[in-house]
Structure 1
Amino acid sequence: MLLWLQKYRPRTISEIVGNTNAVNQFADWVSKRLKDNVKKAALLYGPPGVGKSLTVQVYAEQFGFDLIELNASDVRAKEQIMRIAGTAASQSTIFGGIKRLVFLDEIDGINPAEDKGCIPAIIDIINKSNCPVVLAANDPWDPKLRPIRDLCILIRYNKIRSPTIIKFLKEICRKEGIVVEDRALTLIAEKADGDLRSAIIDLQVLTEGRRYLRFEDVIWLPTRNRQYGVFDVLKELFWSKTALQARLVMEKSLIDHETLKLWIHENLPLVYSDLSDLVRAYDMLSKADVFFGRMNKTQNWDLLPYALEFMTAGVVLGVKKKPEFVKYQFPQKLLLISLTRNSRKIRDETLSALSEKCKLSRRKALTEVFPYLKVIAEENSSIGRRIGEWLNLSEDHLKYLGLKTSKPKKT
């Protein structure tokens, strides 16, 4: 039996269903990548079944690229990635002048603890590549992917709208000679939740051995338990109409509740234009923060449901004015944490050295010794350097303390 996914697979990028803007943006980037000085890699992101991998595969076939495809979540060693993709990326063409395209799928499936060296290997491939490198992920905002994000152009793929899915399913039924009730197709599309691939599979299974599909034949179709990236989660949260719908958002989220709280905090002023709605939403979020704080301090996890209730249903229900469609912003706190990661690492290493040498706790070293050490280093470089040598601090640590890194001249 031929799968309909293959039978009705598009042959050109213009035939890809949904996400037309994303497909065109990808095609434009590849064209420029071959000629101009643009970012060497593209990161396609979005929920499953919306055409990310399909776009790359169809584009390669249509325009004659040799496609080197690798599922990053299945690769467990740096050597494997470099052997398969690294060698291919270092050469832009193969014998006969055929263009090459390197595609690493599901990079968010990499586990840094188990797959050591994979992320640096991908970064190395991007930096040294002579051909376009394409990456795909469901959740591009995973912290482990930040070094990769900075090297890529980000192309977002959204869930495919139900009317678009229904139209395509109708066309399949027409070609297969199947009579189907509109209500049945509507239910299949709703259960697919923007995943065209799942909708096509469901339709083929449901119509196997049938020439007529009724609503009663599909009513048993279960809803898929999916998890979504932060943009889809925020959109569903802010447009929730009931407390239950708002609470269920957490079950679909790929990010933890603390990170989601930061995203909500950052985007409330963009979503709510009415001042009273904004005040009320921040009041609910502050109550959630109080419960999170008490829970973390006392380790009383019975408080978690109350915190989540305030953070979700409390924030979005009871607003006077409907939320606005906006481009959600990345939390500034997370950006600041990311930018200061190296400074915090140097500070912590300095505190560890102080704690060990002075036989103090890290807290006491931070509050009672560290401030004076910075003053000494800034005001008297000679004494500061001698203390640094006693603590076995590097030049980076001394520079962080305010000491000029050039050694003083001998007199």
Structure 2
Amino acid sequence: MIQWFLKYRPRSLKDVENQEDAKKELQEWIESWLKGKPNAKAILLYGPPGVGKTTLAEALANDYNLELLEMNASDSRKLQDIKSIAEKAAVYGSLFGIKGKLILLDEVDGINTREDLGAIQGILELIEKTKYPILMTANDPWDPSLREIRNKVKMIGLNRLGKYALRRILKKICQSEKIECEDEGLDYIIETSEGDARYAINMLQGIGEGYGKVTLDIAKAMVRRKERELDPFETLRDIFWARYAWQAKNAATSAQVDYDMLIRWISENIPIQYENIEDIWRAFDALSRASIFLKRAKAGDWDLLSYAYDMMSSGVALAEIEKKKPNWKPKWKKYQFPSYIQLLSKSKDLRDTRDEIIKKISIHSSFEKTVNYTYPYFLIFFKKYEKRLSLSPKEKEYLNSALKS
């Protein structure tokens, strides 16, 4: 079942609550592009989570009949990934024959400048060369790594949603879903959400699907303060012990780790938690589907991310058939850290040595091509070139060991 914050996301700017100044600035900006005289090449839309940054981008594209070319910037790992967006926008025609495009780079403040080398520079090049408007989003635009980007864009801040705006949103959803709701229960959800509409709607969905009504007592029992995050071990326990889909989804969306890492944690501990081989099979089947949805979401269709969360949380939790019995009780297990991450940590020094060698021999080729095509042959003949390459004793030791293996 689709998450309600996606199902009820506004499709037009006129339906977006409590952001009148931002909507006016966005309309003026996009109309300046359509007239051929843009007042800024790019916009940085910023504000706390759940205030509607991505929603505004999608509504803007819908209102002006623009094709939305979307990319989550925090999931880019290479300069080339960012550049490919510019190439697609500048070279390829619209898939549906509509008059223009809007490039959306979500979560630019999520870029890790150590791991995502070249990503910031890639965005700057994209802004410089683009033929289409660029809209970026960030929770924290004042990160030092974004200084150069701030100097190149127009910044528009968004407000936290007020109590009355959020109440209107939640009441409309309750009416559409035919859920009985008490104002006191809705107010409690609003208070704990701290202006985060997505969080409030997720809490409403959890209660609505689980109980069919929203009361103050149920809200107090079920709604967790927004800032409360679960460490990986707490997250696993809440997912594996969940008897209802909404409980498992709440645990997954409250995790301290991201979705990629959460999948690895769950995968490592499914055989530990579940004893029945059929339960294990169903859990891994759900997790594999989560991996497929996640891969497709990263390819650009971010609406599929909700299905990935459904599969890795609810799908895994409900794989245990015994939970349907009234006398079922959860079994405490000692969970373990993902072995994949442990292996990466142990082999980091070796991988760093290998990468230094590859940099020395990839003079006229990319790093990837050197790894795949040149490096295997270099291992065989490296003794002829070791003096010319000025290999260190550590690098020579690594190569000799790799050749023997």
TM-score range, shorter chain: 0.5 to 0.7
What does 1:37-116 align with in structure 2 at a 5 Å threshold?
37-83=38-84, 85-91=85-91, 94=94, 96=97, 98-116=99-117
* Correspondence for 2:206: 205
Q: CA offsets per residue over residues 193-252 of structure 1, 9 Å max, x none?
A: 11111111110111114343211001031111189xxxxxxxxxxxxxxxxxxxxxxxxx
Q: CA offsets per residue over residues 253-288 of structure 1, 9 Å max, x none?
A: xxxxxxxxxxxxxxxxxxxxxxxxxxxxxxxxxxxx
- Greater shift, 86-95 or 181-190, is seen at 86-95
Q: 1:126 to 1:215 in 2, by over 3 A?
A: same
Query: In the TM superposition, what is the alpha-carbon distance from 1:18 to its structure 2 partner?
Result: 2.3
Rounded Cα–Cα distance in structure 2 between residues aligned with 1:12 and 1:51: 12
Rounded Cα–Cα distance in structure 2 between residues aligned with 1:71 and 1:30: 21
Rounded Cα–Cα distance in structure 2 between residues aligned with 1:112 and 1:16: 33
Q: 1:136 to 1:226 in 2, by over 3 A?
A: farther
CA contact (8 A) 1:104 1:135 kept: yes
Rounded Cα–Cα distance in structure 1 between residues aligned with 2:91 and 2:14: 29
Q: 1:33 to 1:92 in 2, by over 3 A?
A: farther
CA contact (8 A) 1:5 1:200 kept: yes
SS in 1 for 2:48: coil
* Correspondence for 2:396: none
1:21 and 2:27 correspond:
no
SS in 1 for 2:187: helix
* Correspondence for 2:10: 10
Query: In the TM superposition, what is the alpha-carbon distance from 1:60 to its structure 2 partner?
Result: 1.2
Rounded Cα–Cα distance in structure 2 between residues aligned with 1:41 and 1:218: 41
* Correspondence for 1:175: 176
* Correspondence for 1:225: 227
Query: In the TM superposition, what is the alpha-carbon distance from 1:163 to its structure 2 partner?
Result: 1.7
Rounded Cα–Cα distance in structure 1 between residues aligned with 2:46 and 2:119: 19
Amino acid at match of 1:182: D
Amino acid at match of 1:42: I
Rounded Cα–Cα distance in structure 1 between residues aligned with 2:16 and 2:93: 27
1:124 and 2:136 correspond:
no
SS in 2 for 1:164: helix
Q: Which runs of 5+ in 2 are unaligned?
A: 230-405
SS in 1 for 2:211: coil
Q: CA offsets per residue over residues 353-391 of structure 1, 9 Å max, x none?
A: xxxxxxxxxxxxxxxxxxxxxxxxxxxxxxxxxxxxxxx
Amino acid at match of 2:226: R
1:196 and 2:209 correspond:
no
Task: State TM-score, norm by structure 2.
Answer: 0.53
Amino acid at match of 1:28: E
CA contact (8 A) 1:103 1:135 kept: yes
Q: 1:226 to 1:140 in 2, by over 3 A?
A: farther
Rounded Cα–Cα distance in structure 1 between residues aligned with 2:114 and 2:213: 51
SS in 2 for 1:38: coil
Q: 1:181 to 1:37 in 2, by over 3 A?
A: closer
SS in 2 for 1:90: helix
Q: CA offsets per residue over residues 157-176 of structure 1, 9 Å max, x none?
A: 11111221012111221222
* Correspondence for 1:142: 143
SS in 2 for 1:219: helix
* Correspondence for 1:214: 215
Amino acid at match of 1:175: S
Rounded Cα–Cα distance in structure 1 between residues aligned with 2:78 and 2:31: 32
SS in 2 for 1:102: strand
Query: In the TM superposition, what is the alpha-carbon distance from 1:66 to its structure 2 partner?
Result: 1.3
Moved >4 Å (runs of 4+): none
How many aligned positions are there? 226
What does 1:336-355 align with in structure 2 at a 5 Å threshold?
none
Rounded Cα–Cα distance in structure 1 between residues aligned with 2:24 and 2:135: 15
CA contact (8 A) 2:67 2:101 kept: yes
Q: Which runs of 5+ in 1 are unaligned?
A: 228-411
CA contact (8 A) 1:184 1:213 kept: yes
Q: CA offsets per residue over residues 63-93 of structure 1, 9 Å max, x none?
A: 221111100100100011111x121343595
* Correspondence for 1:384: none
Q: 1:16 to 1:92 in 2, by over 3 A?
A: farther
Query: In the TM superposition, what is the alpha-carbon distance from 1:37 to its structure 2 partner?
Result: 4.1
Q: Percent identity?
A: 37
RMSD over equivalenced CA pairs, Å = 1.9
SS in 2 for 1:56: helix
The structure with more radius of gyration: 1
CA contact (8 A) 2:107 2:139 kept: yes
Q: CA offsets per residue over residues 305-339 of structure 1, 9 Å max, x none?
A: xxxxxxxxxxxxxxxxxxxxxxxxxxxxxxxxxxx
Rounded Cα–Cα distance in structure 2 between residues aligned with 1:93 and 1:63: 17
* Correspondence for 1:32: 32
Task: State TM-score, norm by structure 1.
Answer: 0.52
Rounded Cα–Cα distance in structure 2 between residues aligned with 1:123 and 1:9: 30
